[in-house]
């Protein structure tokens, strides 16, 4: 093995800032949520899944039509406007205009954010 490939392997193994983050950041999936709700309420998982799917569909549909979704005590699904900007394609050495657009975002309610701050420690 050449020195260059050894250096590359070392860098990939030791200097990757995202190494191991995926398993730490993604703690709960939709299936986990459905299971927890089904266990707490005694409802069938298929019924809970239908409710969760319909909730997500309603949030998406309202946001696609330009409406924000407010859930008191939890947070808001809001549309954030991104201004027009100039981008660059460095491989072709050209500039392009990225038009103004909206992106979906979640803003937690103050009560929710405060609960997270007080209950989750920084590691």
Q: What is the pLDDT of residues 26-82, one digit of tens each?
A: 689 999 999 999 999 999 999 999 999 999 999 999 999 999 999 999 999 999 999
* Domain span holding position 123: 68-123
Q: Domain total for the chain?
A: 2
Q: Of 67, 89, 40, which is closest to residue 32 (Cα–Cα)?
A: 40
Q: Is the distance from CB of 92 to CB of 85 less than 8 angstroms?
A: no
Q: Measured over all CA atoms, what is the biggest interatomic distance in the chain, rounded to whole angstroms? A: 61
Nearest to 48 by CA among 35, 58, 61, 59: 35
Q: What's the pTM value of the predicted model, to 2 decimals?
A: 0.68
Are 7 and 54 found together in one domain?
yes
71 by DSSP, 3-state: which? strand
Check whether residue 74 and residue 58 sit in a common domain: no
> How far is the C-alpha of 14 from the C-alpha of 43, rounded, in Å?
46
């Amino acid at each position: 093995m050449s020195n260059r490939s050894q250096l590359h392997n070392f860098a990939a193994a030791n200097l990757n800032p995202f190494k191991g983050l995926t398993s730490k950041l993604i703690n709960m999936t939709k299936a986990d949520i459905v299971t927890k709700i089904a266990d707490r309420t005694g409802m069938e998982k298929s019924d809970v899944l239908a409710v969760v799917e319909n909730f997500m569909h309603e949030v998406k549909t309202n946001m696609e039509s330009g409406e924000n979704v407010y859930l008191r005590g939890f947070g808001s699904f809001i549309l954030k406007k991104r201004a027009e900007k100039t981008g660059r394609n460095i491989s072709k050495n050209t500039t392009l205009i990225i038009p103004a657009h909206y992106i979906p975002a979640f803003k937690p309610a103050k009560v929710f954010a405060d609960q997270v701050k007080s209950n989750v420690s920084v590691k």
